[in-house]
C-alpha cells in the first residue's frame, strides 16, 4: 500500500493523476492540493487548498501530511498564460511583472515544494517525486525561440530538479526525483495553442497520465534528476 500527493489537482493533468490514484486499490491515502476548490468523493482523499506562490501555504500543506510518509508526489502546477498576458512572441513582449509571475509559479513554487515535501518522501522503500516540466525548457532542443519566460522558467526548473536529485541522494538514496514532459495535452494551459497542433498529436489528460504513470514506475535511481518524456525518452537539457 502506498501514500501519494498531487499538488495542482485542479488542473487537467493533476486531476487525471488524482483520478488514476483513486482508481488504484494499492493507494492507501491521497493528499490533494489545489488553488481552486474541487469536489472529491473518496474517503482516502484529504483535500487542502494551496497557493504555491505563498511559502507559508506550501509549508502548511506539508504539515497537513503529519506523521505519514509519501511514496509518490506529483507536482502538476504550471502557468503559461492568464487573462492579462500570454507567452512572449518577441523580445519586445518581455515584461518584468509577467516574467516574475511565470517564474513564481513555474520555478520558485516548485523549488519551495521541494524544500517542504522532499523530507516527507519514504526512505525505506523506493519513492518518487515528479514535477511536470516541459520539453521547451530544453536549451539544446530550442529551434523556434519565443515564449521567453515559460521556456526559461522550465529550464530553471529542470536545473532545480537536478540539484534536488544530487542533494537528496545523500540523505534518501531510494528517492527518485524527475521532471516529466507530458506531450501536448488538452488543458486550459494549452487551449490557445491547440489549433496549431495536428489532429492525433494531442493527448487527453487521461492518456498522458496513463503513459506518465508507466514512466514513473519504470524509473530507477539512475534516472533521478532527468527530464523524461511520456514515451520514456530522456530529454537533453
Ligand X SMILES: NC(=O)c1ccc[n+]([C@@H]2O[C@H](COP(=O)([O-])OP(=O)(O)OC[C@H]3O[C@@H](n4cnc5c(N)ncnc54)[C@H](OP(=O)(O)O)[C@@H]3O)[C@@H](O)[C@H]2O)c1
The minimum distance between CB 191 and ligand X, in angstroms, equals 8
| Choice between 87 and 225, CB closer to ligand X | 87
The minimum distance between CB 132 and ligand X, in angstroms, equals 3
| Choice between 42 and 55, CB closer to ligand X | 55
CA distance 49 to 38: 9
CA distance 139 to 144: 11
Nearest to 223 by CA among 213, 231, 215: 215
| Choice between 77 and 122, CB closer to ligand X | 77
| Choice between 87 and 182, CB closer to ligand X | 182
Question: Sign of the CA dihedral 34, 217, 182, 131?
Answer: positive
The minimum distance between CB 105 and ligand X, in angstroms, equals 5
Q: What b/e readout covers 84-107, taking b as 16+ CB neighbours within 10 angstroms? A: ebebbeeeeeeeeebbebbbebbb
| Choice between 78 and 87, CB closer to ligand X | 78
Interacting residues with ligand X (CB under 6 A):
8, 10-14, 34-36, 50-53, 76-79, 105, 132, 134, 182, 184-185, 187-190
Q: Are 224 and 179 contacting, i.e. CB atoms less than 8 angstroms apart?
A: no
The minimum distance between CB 96 and ligand X, in angstroms, equals 18
Q: DSSP string covering 74-136, please?
A: EE----S--SS----SSGGG--HHHHHHHHIIIIIHHHHHHHHHGGGB-SSS-EEEEEE--GG
The minimum distance between CB 235 and ligand X, in angstroms, equals 11
Amino acid at each position: 500500500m502506498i501514500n501519494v500527493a498531487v499538488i495542482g489537482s485542479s488542473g487537467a493533468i493533476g486531476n487525471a493523476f488524482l483520478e488514476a490514484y483513486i482508481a488504484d486499490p494499492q493507494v492507501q491515502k491521497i493528499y490533494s492540493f489545489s488553488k481552486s476548490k474541487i469536489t472529491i468523493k473518496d474517503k482516502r482523499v484529504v483535500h487542502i487548498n494551496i497557493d504555491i506562490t505563498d511559502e507559508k501555504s506550501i509549508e502548511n500543506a506539508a504539515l497537513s501530511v503529519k506523521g505519514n510518509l509519501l511514496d509518490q508526489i506529483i507536482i502538476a502546477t504550471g502557468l503559461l498564460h492568464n487573462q492579462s498576458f500570454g507567452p512572449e512572441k518577441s523580445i519586445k513582449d518581455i515584461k518584468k511583472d509577467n516574467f516574475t509571475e511565470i517564474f513564481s509559479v513555474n520555478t520558485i513554487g516548485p523549488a519551495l515544494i521541494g524544500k517542504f515535501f522532499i523530507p516527507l518522501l519514504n526512505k525505506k522503500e523506493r519513492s518518487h517525486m515528479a514535477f511536470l516540466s516541459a520539453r521547451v525548457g530544453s536549451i539544446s532542443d530550442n529551434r523556434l525561440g519565443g515564449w521567453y519566460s515559460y521556456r526559461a522558467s522550465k529550464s530553471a526548473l529542470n536545473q532545480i530538479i537536478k540539484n534536488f536529485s544530487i542533494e537528496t541522494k545523500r540523505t534518501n538514496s531510494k528517492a527518485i526525483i524527475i521532471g516529466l514532459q507530458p506531450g501536448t495535452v488538452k488543458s486550459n494551459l494549452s487551449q490557445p495553442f491547440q489549433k496549431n497542433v495536428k489532429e492525433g498529436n494531442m493527448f487527453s489528460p487521461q492518456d498522458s497520465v496513463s503513459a506518465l504513470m508507466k514512466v514513473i514506475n519504470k524509473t530507477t535511481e539512475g534516472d533521478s534528476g532527468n527530464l523524461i518524456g511520456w514515451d520514456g525518452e530522456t530529454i537533453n537539457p
